[in-house]
Structure 1
């Protein structure tokens, strides 16, 4: 949907919540924000004659990418259509073999929108070098140091954001760099911010899809100078600290942020310092920095609501121009028309229905300075987004919602598979390997002896005569079925149905060679796994949910960083 006088056609897949809608939003973040694109979209004005009426009229829009940056704010800007199109920077969304099907429409035919917001620490260019510090990394490959998944609900009533700490360890999918260099899927765990080096923003998106099973249609990136220009354009953002803070260690590390206790309005380089501060907030970790970013983005959204008004066209011009020049987007958002349509969708969400969260995490057993997704609770958060359930607990059941979709959550090791499209073979022709994983993750309990043999015999009694026990063992909290290739999907789902397992327990994985049943801790005895608990209806407390209307949020200052 678009407002009166809006030029152009609707953006691809973005409409007033109807079937086929797609997208999300970006925002200034952490240690930096999104890097340089690989070129600009060509201008679309008619150079040889007067522009069409729709293009001659100054574009009335909702702060376009600005609306994205501030989580669905409303506004309008008066900038010429051709000029803005010529300043949109794009990069390819190359997902390689990691594509997922589009989000499923709800019972009313409305479709959710998902966008990955990427903050790059690129130090390529004089402005970014001056702002970024760390001279030893000048002109080096950028890192995706800020990653936030934005989910706009199908009915446009709410918006959810999940941040992933940059120190998260996970598996990387196969990715290809723009120069053709191929990075094979990682065999071990890799720090998530390295994805940008392995194949550009498309690899970062593919890594999220691999972990969460959430189909992501778009990305947006911002860099150091983009954060500064946006904060300057809005005229400052109010933030709060509970004590005087000075983010500087004895050996000179830290962002340099220095603020008095209470609320201060920050902009320009000071805003960048806030978003990059690690030393001085909470426990001095990257997790604390994520929480500070959430507070900033919510405050920024509220400021845009106050300032992005038609009665102040001069300010709107600067806001809109700063937003366009700050962002790099995928080719699906390479026209003002598309950004306008997207911003109109974001406008529908009130700030009180915006929920900022951090992926639940645990300290990694492999590296005490790194984190991994928290078993159970991280997947619950991802599941809620996949199923378009509001993270603020204000959701209502949708007519025709699938009961099986809300059943058992899939483990965090891989996303659940998409519904099988290939037909299943007869049970007697489906080879099934049964692996004993009854000890749970982290070997919390001893495994039940001979459990793989018992369940293999159960499958044989159900007609799966090629089921055999695997000599290997594993550890899973919930029972699941993994398969290797798409032509095995139907067979895997047939095994799940025979055992009474939900579709969410079926996963595609490169860790197996065929259909493999992992008998988890939830199935230590009997002929059926323990029924899962009722699915969550709001974000877990470990995700640190923050409401967009919370003006009392205040960062706790770390001991030793006061003045």
Structure 2
């Protein structure tokens, strides 16, 4: 089943998750829920029943796994005309629709920076293909939801890759987003809004903005695909091996379930059967979205290994089919809006072996039938990604270099200094009045030109001082020294126009930031990490769904 015809606009088309109505192709940008066991608040993921809503979280891997087929394998056009044809297949959309960007990471000693790519799966059911594959006819024509969200982090040195899945019903604040199509402004949401609603607030760029607001991780690109795109690309790949420990048939007496039917052991699945695997909740042990997420992680890892080994993909015709289906199925940001750019990205990702690939789920805890980031553990996982620390525990953190600037500092009283409140975390609101209070502390130390900047919306785990150009580096270091902060906390950034101190979560009170204790750089157990090299992974089947 191809992705042709899945091109309608927002509210009317699956291609691009129903967000592409007036958006141009080829680089021209436009212009249910997880619950505790037994609380399936949104039954849609496996076929309807109950309140008509879309399938539940974590199809991330269903789509992201397929998306990676393009990235890891790459494709080559058969001449200029064919390349132009592939190029015209791709649709693009704006990268970030919010009014704030997370700061770019500091390059390592070799000048390399990490790559962060948000993979999005839309549940749009506004074409015949997607409606047939997605079920829940009552939802036809409704706004699309970002039911699959996964952040792929490629390390600066390209030695390892980490992936974080976010439950689709995570409760959080969606930032203000402006739809470039019609200029509609969606105001910042309340703190208990499901993350998957971000897609309907202007497009995938709002989902990117939501991730950056929550994690403070700078996202470089996004890729999005829908139901029909999953099936067409899975067909083109030709089969991915998956394993179950018993015969399974995902179907309840009420007709719920994905319909997946497999025999015990390992089976190569493709096309619609692959979509069934990735959507199955009824049948895997536990019957929740957590077990579905595990199945999706297993599928993705298996897909990566399959593509690296080129199993079944040596035929030029099969490669062309994969290229054709992939470019038709994907919506991306302009930064990767051509086959050549996707190939370049794929070549970067190919540098990482399965052994250094780690799949995780954002640590969470239940809040009624929904989930919220788990205090401590979620921020720990986000920090590891921000600091480019491998989640497999094999990388060694290199101590930051303490290098004094060649630029002499101005007298304290002449240093213009902005102070921003970045004390908000994934689990705590910002400490009130911190920018003003710290500005007063600095004035008492002699920095009389320190002033609060209350217009900024930032979050920082640890207090940082940023400066825009080398002629202000000495001034920034002088401020750090006065506060007893290490020089590693002074960073060059184009996100600021002058020396800017961002008060982090480590300085919610008191006259100086807390001294950093030795940090634990291990991946939280609650992230449920799975190595890409684990070939023995096998889904446990609920005995009530065996045959």
TM-score (norm 2): 0.71
* Aligned counterpart for 1:105 among listed residues 100, 104, 107: 107
CA offset at residue 557 of structure 1?
2.4
Q: Residue 296 of structure 2 aligns with which residue?
A: 293
- Aligned equivalent of 2:178: 176
What whole-Å deviation, never above 9, does each CA across 1:170-208 have from its counterpart, x for those lacking one?
111111233222111123221100000112100000000
Q: Pick from 529, 537, 540: which aligns with 1:553? A: 537
SS in 1 for 2:347: helix
Residue number in structure 1 paired with 2:374: 374
Aligned partner of residue 328 in structure 2, secondary structure:
helix
3-state SS of 1:199 partner: coil
Check conservation: 1:40, 1:90, Cα contact below 8 A.
Answer: yes
Farther-moved stretch of structure 1 (213-222 vs 491-500):
491-500
- 1:186 aligned counterpart, secondary structure: coil
Q: 1:457 to 1:123 in 2, by over 3 A?
A: closer
Structure 1, unpaired ranges of 5+: 1-31, 45-64, 405-422, 444-453, 468-477, 483-489, 507-514
Q: Aligned partners of 1:403, 1:43: CA distance in 2, in Å?
A: 42
CA, structure 1 residues 241+339, in 2 after alignment: closer, same or farther (shift >3 Å)?
A: same
Unaligned runs of 5+ in 2: 1-13, 29-63, 404-409, 430-436, 451-460, 466-472, 492-500
Instruction: Kindly report the root-mean-square deviation, in angstroms, between the aligned alpha carbons of the 2 structures.
Output: 4.6
Give runs of aligned pairs for residues 337-486 of structure 1, distance below 5 A.
337-364=340-367, 368-398=368-398, 401=400
Listed one character per residue, the Cα deviations across residues 433-478 of structure 1 (whole Å, up to 9, x for unaligned) are: 99x99xx9799xxxxxxxxxx99999898679999xxxxxxxxxx9
Distance of aligned partners of 1:521 and 1:101 in 2 relative to their CA distance in 1, 3 Å threshold: closer
Superposed CA offset, 1:133-173 (max 9, x none):
01111121100000011111122222111110101111111
Offset of residue 115 of structure 1? 1.0
Asked whether the equivalents of residues 481 and 492 of structure 1 are also in contact (C-alpha less than 8 Å), the reply is no
Q: Superposed, which structure 2 residues align to 1:311-330 within 5 Å?
A: 311-330=314-333
Conserved 8 A contact 1:103-1:112? yes
Any conservation in 1 of the 2:363–2:378 contact (CA below 8 Å)? yes
Contact 1:70/1:297 (<8 A) preserved: no
The answer to whether the 8 A contact 2:162-2:358 is kept is yes
- Residue 302 of structure 1 corresponds to which residue in structure 2? 305
Q: Is the 8 A contact 1:228 1:271 kept in 2?
A: yes
Q: Is the 8 A contact 2:373 2:427 kept in 1?
A: no
What SS does the aligned partner of 1:151 have?
Answer: strand
Deviation by residue 1:3-49 (Cα, 9 ceiling, x = unmatched): xxxxxxxxxxxxxxxxxxxxxxxxxxxxx9962534453599xxxxx
The aligned counterpart of 2:189 is 186
TM-score, scaled to structure 1: 0.69
Cα displacement (A) at 1:427: 12
1:308 deviates by 6.3
Asked whether the equivalents of residues 175 and 210 of structure 2 are also in contact (C-alpha less than 8 Å), the reply is yes
Q: Is it true that 1:248 corresponds to 2:230 in the alignment?
A: no
Confirm or deny: 8 A CA contact 2:212 2:219 kept in the other structure: yes
Distance of 2:477 and 2:259 partners within structure 1? 54
Tell me what 2:17 maps to: 35
Q: Which residue of 1 aligns with 2:520?
A: 535
**Secondary structure at 2:375 match in 1:** coil
Number of matched residues? 461
Q: Give 1:154's match in structure 2, choosing from 156, 169, 174.
A: 156
SS of aligned partner of 1:195: helix
212-221 or 326-335: bigger deviation = 326-335
